[in-house]
Amino acid sequence: MATVAVNSAKRGLRTELKQRLRALSAEERRRQSRLLTQKVIAHSQYQNSKRISIFLSMQDEIETEEIIKDIFKQGKICFIPRYQFQSNHMDMVRLASPEEIALLPKTSWNIHQPGEGDVREEALSTAVNFLPGLVDLTSSSFLAWGFDKDGNRLGRGKGYYDTYLKRCVQHQEVKPYTMALAFKEQMCAQVPVDEHDMKVDEVLCEDSPAS
């Protein structure tokens, strides 16, 4: 599919997915979030990893608060995103505790993240990376609107995640295991992609089998 056609298809699908997510009630978001929290904590990749990267959820994403609490409860190391808004650069930086999140400054997207001058350990050696909606437990603050069963993800158009995952591949011999956390309403028959789009290894949603 030509780039122009791919971009057009992505725009149309983003619009459809925004409408699907907008129609979700707060209770349904909580229900699916609780279910996915259980799936993540029971997942073999999560259990076997000592270092977890995870997004801080926005309103239209699977809630990650309880997963973050469990990361610390299990004695694992937790990393969260720090975006550079003048570019598509993103780092995953170490979080000291779940309680620290509320103390971090907020971005223009209303997301908590450490300031640029706040020197922290980075996560390029992370074993499990959780993506938005997006491991990079990634959905959505790993910036995604939708996914398909093959691991293709429809990002929000900024390229933060694709660029970050490419850096991971360049810095490590082994690519982090990436899991996306998605509402079932974010699942698509097929996500349009081009050569720059990075797949995730696994998409977790309500209907996905236990791993």
**pTM of the predicted structure, to 2 decimals:** 0.86
| SS3 category, 178 | strand
What's the pLDDT at 61?
A: 86
How far is 183 from 116, CA to CA, in rounded Å? 31
Distances (CA, A) of 72 to 52, 94, 112, 193: 10, 12, 18, 36
| Residue 95 buriedness (CB in 10 A; 0-12 / 13-18 / 19+) | buried
Regions of the chain with pLDDT less than 70: 1-2, 125-144, 157, 171-175, 210-211
Q: What is the pLDDT of residues 125-177, one digit of tens each?
A: 555 655 443 244 554 434 568 899 999 988 776 777 778 877 777 766 666 78
What does the domain layout of the chain look like in residue ranges?
3-204
What's the pLDDT at 43?
A: 93
**Fold that domain 3-204 belongs to in CATH:** Rossmann fold (3.40.50)
> Quick one: tokens of 149?
């069963």
